[in-house]
Amino acid sequence: MTNHSQHRLPIVLTIAGFDPSGGAGVIADIRTIEALGCKAVAAITSITFQNAKTYVGALNQRATSVRAQVEAILAEHEIVALKIGMLPTPEIVHEVARLMLEFALPPPVIDPVMESTSGGKLMDEDAFELFVTRLLPVARLITPNIPEAEKLAGLNIRDEDAMRRAAGRIRELGARAVLVKGGHLKVKRSDLRGQRSGQETRTATDLLDDHGEVTVFQSDWIDTPDVRGTGCVLSSAIACGLARGVELKKAIKAAREFISQVIQNSKLETPNSKLSATRS
């Protein structure tokens, strides 16, 4: 195996699905990883048939195919950070867990993809149960959106307090850290100007529970209804921060700032790349 010090860039592996429209999965991951100055390598778990508006179906890979892809990568590269996305079948979940143990892969940033923005179911129920028992305990961070956090925690989330309770329950399942993304909530915050006028402004609120230490991240809400794929981009950006040795909270803060820059541009462009972002 080649030592990563021989490479100019830290190597980040993404194990995820393929979206032919480029809005999600490995394409969004690779663009993010390369935009943030890391080298991307990828293994595909499923080829989906979708775009921004329609989900038709998917051709899930066999577990042996996923293993062969990862083994080919590991024969040449040393992975310093790992992002995991779509894991559609229990066989693939089991194989990814085996690969992590067998090759001592870094604790992953896991984006628990369950449904696509366009409505497709991306994880079998049997895969979900195995995911909870086999992969959550080895995760460095899991980044569920509100519907995913509700399924994992078994409770309804309507406010920040519920986000806090859900993060604690998910961490009790084994994950070292949980970032509940509040993009599906209409959490509001009154700024000084708003307090004077009696008005409130909507904010983007994410809540991190890291070993029981809770941090709330807030930023101005950007009203851009056409944006897809922020979940893929955010988790990949956090993995890049960890690949560079950045502490988790700082990696999340930088990733959120990166997402804001992406969303603010109507064409989802950054100075170095074009990004199409997916779930939030």
Here the tokens at position 71 are: 């083994």
Average pLDDT in the 51-71 region?
A: 94
Q: What is the pTM of this model?
A: 0.86
Give the pLDDT of residue 222. Answer: 64
Least trusted range by pLDDT, from 9-13, 158-162, 171-175, 261-265: 261-265
Is the Cβ–Cβ distance between 102 and 71 less than 8 Å? no
Q: Which pairing describes strands 188-189 and 201-210: parallel, antiparallel, or unpaired?
A: antiparallel
Q: Which residues are paired to 84 by β-bridges? A: 15, 110
Radius of gyration of the chain (CA): 18
Give the pLDDT of residue 216. Answer: 95
Per-domain residue ranges of the chain: 4-182+225-279
Give the pLDDT of residue 5. Answer: 44
Taking domain 4-182+225-279, whether its CATH number is 3.40.1190.20 is answered by: yes
Residue pLDDT, tens place only, 7-50:
589 999 999 999 998 888 999 999 999 999 999 999 999 999 98
